[in-house]
Structure 1
Amino acid sequence: MSIIALDMAKAHLRVTWGSEDQLIELYLLAAEGTAADFLNRQVFATQQEMADAVEEETAGEDPIVANMQIQAGMLLILGNIYSNRDTSAEIPPGARDLLWPHRVGLGV
């Protein structure tokens, strides 16, 4: 299940037609996964989803509910993937800046 609703993703991309919905959903899941990988933690849409995962012991270490900064970072990553389909999918600097304060396990 996606953290960000399709209609919000389409609004961010300024897409008003429905013919690319499946593609946008794929890119949205990829953007959310990229953000979670960068954060080194599992990200949940709601507190209840996180609580359920913790109870089922599937939440991993240090899970987090996607706050506005994380959601905005995910949208920036989505925009980058959507706009640059044929190039590498680096995390845009703005997304990195939004996600960085919530990152764990930075290592050396």
Structure 2
Amino acid sequence: MSVIELAVAKQYLDVIHNSDDAKLQLLLDAAEDEAAQYMNRGLLDPYPAALLVDGVLVLAPPLEKPFPSVVLGVMLLLQAAYQASPDDAEKLRRAAEVKLAPHRVGLGA
């Protein structure tokens, strides 16, 4: 089950028909999974996930929705998989990394 709604993905891709809904859902799920793996965290995981407040570890609650730049990164990955030529797909994937990179965690640990 995706965090980002299929209707949002279809609007981003300018898809107005329902014939590709199953395919788009699969690609959206895969794009979200790829983004989560790249960021080393879930799309709804807060950053930072925990804070020290007066010496007490406080866990941040999950986000209600992903950051807009994360959504755009996922949409770029989806577009690369769904409707891009091989050359354009590579450019879209690099653009997705630019949007997702600030949200990566655990790189130096």
Q: Give the alignment's TM-score, normalised by structure 2.
A: 0.71
Q: Give the alignment's TM-score, normalised by structure 1.
A: 0.71
**What are structure 2's unaligned runs of at least 5 residues?**
47-59
> Where does structure 1 differ by over 3 angstroms across 4 or more consecutive aligned residues?
62-65
Q: Which residue type is aligned with residue 100 of structure 2?
A: L
Displacement after TM superposition at 1:106 (Å): 2.1
Matches within 5 A, 1:84-103: 84=84, 92-103=93-104
Is residue 105 of structure 1 aligned with residue 106 of structure 2? yes
More displaced 10-residue stretch of structure 1: 65-74 or 28-37: 65-74
Q: Which residue type is aligned with residue 25 of structure 2?
A: E
1:35-89 per-position Cα deviation (integer Å, ceiling 9, x unaligned): 00000112229x8xxxxxxxxxxxxxx9964210101100000000112598xx7
Equivalenced residue count is 92
Distance 1:63 1:85, change over 3 A: farther
**What are structure 1's unaligned runs of at least 5 residues?**
48-61
Q: 2 CA distance for matches of 1:11 and 1:37?
A: 25
Matched residue, 1:76: 76
